[in-house]
Amino acid sequence: METVEFFPASESEISQILKSAQREGKSVYPVSAGNNWGYGDKQPVDQNAWILNLSKMNRILDFNPEMGILRIEPGVTQKDLQTFLEKNHHEFYVPNTGAGSRGTLLGNALERGFGIAPIQDHASAILSLRGILADGSVYESPLKEIDPLLGDCFTWGVGPHLDHLISQSSWIIITEASLQLQPKAECTDILVLSFSDDELSSVVGRLRSLMWQHEGAVGSIKILNKRQINKVNHKDGWTDFFLSSDQQSHQDWFLTLVVYSNAITRRPIIKSIKKQLRAIFRRSILVFDASRIRILEKFLSLLPFPSVRTFLLKVRDLGEMLRLAQGYTSEVGYKALDGSFDPNSNSYFDINKYPHQLAWLSPLCPLDPNSITNLLSEIRKIEEESPFQMKTLTWTVLNPRTLALVIPVIYSADKKDEFWTWYKAVHIRLKDKGFIPYRFHVNMMSFVTTELLPNHFKFVRQFEKSFDPQGTLLNGRYS
Ligand SMILES: Cc1cc2nc3c(=O)[nH]c(=O)nc-3n(C[C@H](O)[C@H](O)[C@H](O)COP(=O)(O)OP(=O)(O)OC[C@H]3O[C@@H](n4cnc5c(N)ncnc54)[C@H](O)[C@@H]3O)c2cc1C
């Protein structure tokens, strides 16, 4: 049965569709663009649902450059915002992700996605919301009825804070939101270092103190496994090219740490971070900024040897990673799925033509050495026994207490039943060890609510009864 999809262009059209759906005993499944790749795309949980694709509601309604407050409709993509900021010479970061320019700002924030440029935790940047409830009434954030600006400035409002119930919920169709954007720093550098499995715990332990000491200056921190670097950066890791021989012998993991600073603070901050990392092991730490990458690129493009082309591509990929850190969109994330994809080719990665199905496995982990060791050893056992390919492992530091280990897992469409059985069993194994992902695929919903978090979702259903007693909105999604 073909799922019906509507593309409303206004709140009143949404209300009409909602009424028709209720008359016909259907539920509606709103998406901002439906590019939730690896988490179910725009597939509703309820097979009886109509999709409300809000991608045509893509206006940037307002931007307050003094305060960095952006008011948007749901369909606004990373690319739309980048174009707007560039055209108006506003030096602010696009809240980007590895999904690249087609990802929406709001869909990603409502899923509690995270990205590379500041502010990385996208749900935390939501200042206020407006949307339609199941009974057709319009919800607005607390202080909006007093003054729209105050509503964005003091997000707690007064009384119970309902906005926090709205990400990863199924109680409201969001039609508008204000997001906090962060102004760009003068200088952006990426520090790169490699280390071995044995050193993972001590490096991670050090990261917490780095974040506390240099709050605001230390940005995105990722720890990528060697396989990831090799896939993302062509046949042999770019680090083989850049790293000294002492680093090459410690290449199980690569840390990339972004530092934001200004001309005065840059040197002392980088020096202090390097010093603290060197206290763990004496090894060279590479620092790249945009001009260093440009010079390298230019130099390599002048060399007449064919083998240099590989290095040149590696430098360009590193440049793309830096662009993400600088708040631009980039398609470099797709190299985790297909190492031969060239993000500089100016074309999109066509996920519909990708020959595999994708599901992310992204367990959360306390930022503490024991937990990291336990999670990694379980994941490695799972991987060894897995009939499906776990492509890459990336630890992302979410805050000084938490990491997420993000793994794209691929399978072929004809093995889908086998895959979901295996995938659910993996989650039970992880739960038994004390780990659970931060976000779930549509196909996992009933399993999450009944097997993984049964107590929590009992409460969720109690709340849901008052917001959406008939289950008209996003039926089955996080409920
Ligand atoms: C290679 C690759 C890299 C990726 N990297 C990242 C990454 O770095 N970080 C990350 O977070 N994700 C990443 N993703 C996953 C995903 O593609 C993005 O999160 C993407 O932004 C989600 O799609 P969307 O913005 O179109 O949101 P949508 O699909 O529109 O929305 C996601 C969900 O939010 C809810 N929702 C959306 N809009 C509304 C609304 N208006 N009202 C009520 N509920 C709503 C729905 O449940 C919907 O299913 C990646 C995917 C790929 C393939």
pLDDT in tens, 328-379: 999 999 988 998 888 888 788 999 899 999 999 999 999 999 999 999 999 9
- Whether the pLDDT of residue 101 is over 80: the answer is yes
Index of the ligand 1 atom closest to the CA of residue 110: 34
Å from CA of 379 to ligand 1 middle: 25
The C-alpha angle with vertex 406 and arms to 404 and 410, in degrees rounded to 5, equals 160
Tell me the C-alpha distance between 464 and 447, whole Å: 18
Local confidence band at 245 (pLDDT 50, 70, 90 cut-offs): low
Task: Kindly state if the Cβ of 330 falls inside 6 Å of ligand 1.
Answer: no
Task: Kindly state if the Cβ of 99 falls inside 6 Å of ligand 1.
Answer: yes
In the three-class reduction of DSSP (H, G, I as helix; E, B as strand; rest coil), residue 108 is classed as helix
Tell me the C-alpha distance between 420 and 252, whole Å: 30
Average the pLDDT over 433-448 and give the result: 98
Task: Kindly state if the Cβ of 261 falls inside 6 Å of ligand 1.
Answer: no
Point out the least confidently predicted range of 89-93, 153-157, 279-283, 460-464.
279-283
Contact of 185 with 260, CB cutoff 8 Å: yes
Give the pTM. Answer: 0.94
- The residue nearest atom 50 of ligand 1, judged by CA position, is 99
Task: Kindly state if the Cβ of 111 falls inside 6 Å of ligand 1.
Answer: yes
Specify the DSSP class assigned to residue 113.
-
How many residues are there in the chain?
479
